[in-house]
Amino acid sequence: MKIIKTPIEGVFLIYPRILGDERGRFARTFCKKEFAEAGIHESFVQFNHSLNFKKGTIRGMHFQHPPFAESKLIRCVQGSVTDVAVDIRMGSPTFLQHFSIELTAENMISILIPAGCAHGFQAMEDNTALIYHHSEYYTPQADAGFRYNDPALNIRWELPAVNVSEKDKNYILIDKQFKGIKI
């Protein structure tokens, strides 16, 4: 397993060592010891599975307010997505900057998104599925987000947006008053 830092502090890419033979493929996608050696000490309390029927579907940009802010370890297990993390931490040198990567069932790459970053993705194929590992329980009163197409975020989605939930369409736009969340 290779764990790579990204330009946004705390966002890591996890490249598994993929072994293959005539039976198929095998890869370790999480190792507490290897994560700890890379300075990652997350404990995961909830796993979720997202299935997205239509290519172009966008979910995001989601986060939870402290004290329920959560880290997420995300991997695509079917199809492919463009996955995006946005730094919304107060005082961060990369405040409101984003990082994106293509996650596919084929490449088996995972992304670790720390507490204090908003998360979203766009399905690049029909019937795309993701597995999420969360460091905090879903807490409805802490649930929040920003619009996926907020000009302040300047995220360039590759496909036209389809199947965006009403909730995601109606999140607030980031304005000049937003100073970030304190983690």
For 133-170, write each residue's pLDDT tens digit: 999 999 999 999 999 999 999 999 999 999 999 999 99
Predicted confidence band at 105 (pLDDT cuts at 50, 70, 90)?
A: very high
Residues 70-91: b if buried by 16+ CB within 10 A, e if exposed: bbbbbbbbebbbbbbbbbbbee
Fold classification of 2-169 is Jelly Rolls (2.60.120)
> H or E stretch including 35?
helix 32-37
* Average pLDDT for 77-103: 97
Q: Which residues contact 151 (CB under 8 A, 6 or more apart)?
A: 173
- Supply the residues annotated as catalytic: 62, 132
Retrieve residue 34's tokens.
């290897």
Q: Give this prediction's pTM.
A: 0.95
For 27-53, write each residue's pLDDT tens digit: 999 999 999 999 999 999 999 999 999
